[in-house]
C-alpha cells in the first residue's frame, strides 16, 4: 500500500477502446428504465412504502439478469434500520415578547417536525437565541456558540455560511457553500449544543431552492437512521421559518433582523438573546422498519480485493402535498435517471472484458431524507474503505440533450478531477466551474458520506452549454427545473426529455471507472482537502 496517496499512474483507457461497451449504453434503454421507475405505480419510491418494494424488485432483477453477483453475502440487499416520524398534527408556532405575541401557521409561514421517539412533543415558552449561522468550525476560527449555554432554549439559525453572505473568498469558501452551510449540519450542531428547539431561516438564494421545496420535503413523514439513544438527544422541535417570519419575530423583540444577519457574517459575532419565548407542539406517529441499499458486484480478475464503487440513490419523496391534483412525487430525474445510468453502466461492464479490480454498483436508499442510505453504508461498509480505490456518483442525469461542457460538483477535491480533465480533452468537452456553488451540491448527495470516511469520490455531469441551443438556453432549462419541478410532482417522465446527453454522462463515468478498474493507480485527495487526513489514516490501518 506504500505510496497510494501519491496518485500513482492514473491513466485513461485508450481512445476508442470502450466503443463496444459504449454501445450498451443507449438513450432508449435509459428512457425505459426512467419510465418504469418514475411511473405512478411506484408511488414516488419512498422508503418504507410499497413503492420501495417495487423499486428493490426492479433493480435486483436487472442486476441479476445481467449476471452481477450479490455483494452482501448471498444477497443484493443491505439492511438499513430506519425510524419514521409522521406528523399527525402540528400546532402553530407561537412567539411571545414583552410587547405581544405572534402565531405562525404550519406550511404557509413555517414547518416544524420532531424526531424524538415519544409521540407527543412540545416546546413550551422556550427562550429564543439568535446564533447567527450556528457554526462551530475551529479550522476557520469560528464559533457561534462560544460562551453560550442553549440547553432548553430555541436557537434561530441562518442558512448557508458567512462566505456566501459576504462573497469574501477568504471567508470559509467564499461563494461556494461549505458543509457548515447545509441544513443537516445546523441541526446536528444544535443537537450537540443541547438546544431544545432549532429554527432555520429560509431565504431562496442562500438555500438554493424556494420555500415550496422546504414545504414538500418537510410536511410529509420524515425518516431517520435508528440512533443509539432512539433520538432522545434530538431537539424537541426543529424546523424552518420564512424570512419574513424571522423579521417579525425579531421586531417583536425590538431587534432588526437584517442588521443582525449582516453582523452574523462578520468575525467576532456574539449570539443575541432575543427576549422572546417560543412554543410549538407536534404529535407524531412513530414506526420503525427496515429499508435497503442494493449492492451488486463484478469481481475483478486480478485484484479482486481492490474495489471501485459507482452509486446513486433510488428513492424519492413518495406522496405529498398535491399540485394540480397530483400528489405523487415521481422523481424522474431525481433520481430514476441516475439508477437508469447505474443499470446501463453495469450492462456495459458485463459486456466488456472482466475488470482487473472489482467494480461494485450501489443503489442507496433515503438520500432525500438526509443521505441516510449512504451514511449507513459509510458506517457499515460492505467493502473496506482502505481497499476501496475510489467512487463515482450518478445523481440527476442530463435530460436536455448533448452539452459541450462538463461540471464537477465541489471542484478542487481529488485527482479524480485530473482524470476527468483528460477524459474531457479526449472527448471534445470543456470542464467548467460549478454554476451554483452557493447551493452546496457537494454536501447534498451520496458521494459525501463516502468522502467523510476518506474515499475519493467524484460527482460530475453535463454542464449547460447545449450543443443545439447554446449556454443561455441550457442555463434557463436548469433554472426552470429547480424552480418548477425539483421536489414536486412535476418531476415526471415526459416524451420531451432528451436523454442523449445522459448517455454522455454515463459513458464518461464508465470510462473513468474502467481506467481505475483496469489500472493500478490510487487517486489521492489534493493537498489541503478536508478528507485527506482521514484517507491517510484509513490506508495505514488497512495495510
Q: C-alpha cell of 58?
A: 426492479
526 contact partners, CB below 8 Å, separation of at least 6? 412, 413, 414, 415, 532
pLDDT mean by block of 10 residues, the chain; 543 residues: 42 57 92 98 97 98 98 98 92 94 95 92 97 95 96 97 95 91 94 97 94 89 86 93 97 97 96 97 94 98 98 96 94 97 97 95 96 97 97 96 95 93 92 86 92 95 95 94 91 95 95 94 91 92 74
DSSP secondary structure string, 232-277?
TTS-SEEEEEEHHHHHHHHHHTT--HHHHHHHHTSTT---EEEEEE
- Contact (CB, 8 A) for 392 and 506: no
- DSSP-derived pairing of the beta strands 303-313 and 357-364: parallel
Element (H, E) at 112: strand 110-113
- Contact (CB, 8 A) for 367 and 374: yes
The angle formed by the CA atoms of residues 408, 459 and 398, to the nearest 5 degrees, is: 80
> Quick one: 449 exposed, middle or buried, by C-beta within 10 A (0-12, 13-18, 19+)?
buried
Give CA 143 to chain center in angstroms: 25
Looking at residue 436, what is its pLDDT? 82
247 contact partners, CB below 8 Å, separation of at least 6? 257, 258
Looking at residue 18, what is its pLDDT? 56
Looking at residue 19, what is its pLDDT? 57
Distance CA 11, CA 13 (A): 7
Q: What pLDDT, in 10s, does the model give residues 268-309?
A: 999 999 999 999 999 999 999 999 999 999 999 999 999 999
Looking at residue 1, what is its pLDDT? 31
Distance CA 362, CA 461 (A): 18
Number of CB atoms found within 10 A of residue 287's CB: 12
Q: What pLDDT, in 10s, does the model give residues 235-246?
A: 999 999 999 999
Amino acid at each position: 500500500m506504500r505510496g497510494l496517496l501519491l496518485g500513482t499512474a492514473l491513466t485513461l483507457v485508450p481512445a476508442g477502446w470502450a466503443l463496444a461497451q459504449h454501445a450498451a449504453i443507449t438513450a432508449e434503454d435509459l428512457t425505459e428504465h426512467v419510465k418504469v421507475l418514475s411511473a405512478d405505480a411506484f408511488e414516488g419510491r419512498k422508503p418504507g412504502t410499497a413503492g420501495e418494494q417495487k423499486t428493490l424488485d426492479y433493480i435486483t432483477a436487472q442486476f441479476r439478469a445481467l449476471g452481477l453477483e450479490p455483494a452482501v453475502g448471498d444477497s443484493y440487499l443491505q439492511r438499513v434500520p430506519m425510524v419514521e416520524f409522521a406528523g399527525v398534527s402540528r400546532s402553530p408556532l407561537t412567539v411571545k415578547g414583552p410587547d405581544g405575541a405572534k402565531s405562525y401557521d404550519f406550511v404557509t409561514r413555517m414547518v416544524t417536525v420532531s424526531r424524538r421517539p415519544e409521540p407527543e412533543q412540545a416546546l413550551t415558552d422556550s427562550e429564543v437565541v439568535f446564533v447567527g449561522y450556528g457554526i462551530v468550525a475551529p479550522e476557520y476560527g469560528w464559533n457561534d456558540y462560544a460562551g453560550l449555554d442553549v440547553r432548553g432554549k430555541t436557537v434561530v439559525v441562518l442558512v448557508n455560511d458567512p462566505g456566501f453572505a459576504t462573497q469574501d473568498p477568504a471567508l470559509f469558501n467564499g461563494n461556494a457553500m461549505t458543509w457548515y452551510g447545509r441544513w443537516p449540519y445546523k441541526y446536528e450542531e444544535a443537537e450537540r449544543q443541547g438546544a431544545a428547539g432549532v429554527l432555520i431561516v429560509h431565504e431562496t438564494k442562500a438555500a438554493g431552492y424556494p420555500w415550496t421545496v422546504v414545504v414538500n420535503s418537510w410536511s410529509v413523514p420524515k425518516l431517520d437512521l435508528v440512533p443509539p439513544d432512539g433520538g432522545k438527544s434530538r431537539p424537541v422541535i426543529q424546523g424552518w421559518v420564512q424570512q419574513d417570519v424571522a423579521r417579525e419575530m425579531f421586531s417583536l423583540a425590538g431587534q432588526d433582523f437584517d442588521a443582525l444577519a449582516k453582523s452574523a457574517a462578520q468575525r467576532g459575532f456574539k449570539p443575541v438573546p432575543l427576549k422572546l419565548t417560543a412554543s410549538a407542539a407536534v404529535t407524531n406517529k412513530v414506526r420503525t422498519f427496515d429499508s435497503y441499499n442494493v449492492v451488486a458486484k463484478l469481481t475483478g480478475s486480478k485484484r479482486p480485493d481492490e474495489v471501485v464503487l459507482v452509486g446513486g440513490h433510488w428513492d424519492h419523496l413518495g406522496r405529498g402535498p398535491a399540485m394540480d391534483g397530483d400528489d405523487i412525487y415521481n422523481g424522474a430525474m431525481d433520481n430514476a435517471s441516475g439508477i437508469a445510468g447505474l443499470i446501463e453502466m453495469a450492462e456495459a461492464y458485463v459486456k466488456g472484458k472482466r475488470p482487473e479490480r472489482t467494480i461494485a454498483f450501489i443503489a442507496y436508499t433515503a438520500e432525500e431524507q438526509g443521505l441516510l442510505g449512504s451514511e449507513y453504508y459509510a458506517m457499515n461498509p460492505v467493502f473496506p474503505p482502505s481497499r476501496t480505490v475510489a467512487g463515482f456518483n450518478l445523481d440527476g442525469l442530463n435530460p436536455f440533450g448533448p452539452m459541450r461542457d462538463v461540471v464537477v460538483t465541489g471542484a478542487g477535491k481529488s485527482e479524480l478531477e485530473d482524470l476527468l480533465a483528460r477524459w474531457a480533452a479526449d472527448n471534445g468537452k470543456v470542464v467548467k466551474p460549478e454554476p451554483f456553488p452557493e447551493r452546496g451540491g457537494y454536501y447534498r448527495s451520496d458521494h459525501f458520506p463516502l468522502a467523510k470516511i476518506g474515499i475519493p469520490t467524484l460527482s460530475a455531469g453535463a454542464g449547460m452549454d447545449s450543443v443545439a441551443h447554446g449556454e443561455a438556453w441550457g442555463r434557463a432549462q436548469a433554472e426552470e427545473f429547480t424552480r418548477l419541478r425539483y421536489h414536486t410532482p412535476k418531476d415526471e417522465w415526459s416524451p420531451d426529455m432528451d436523454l442523449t446527453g445522459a448517455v454522455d454522462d454515463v459513458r464518461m463515468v464508465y470510462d473513468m471507472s474502467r481506467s481505475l478498474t483496469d489500472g493500478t493507480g490510487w487517486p489521492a485527495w489534493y493537498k489541503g482537502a478536508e478528507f485527506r487526513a482521514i484517507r491517510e489514516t484509513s490506508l495505514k490501518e488497512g495495510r
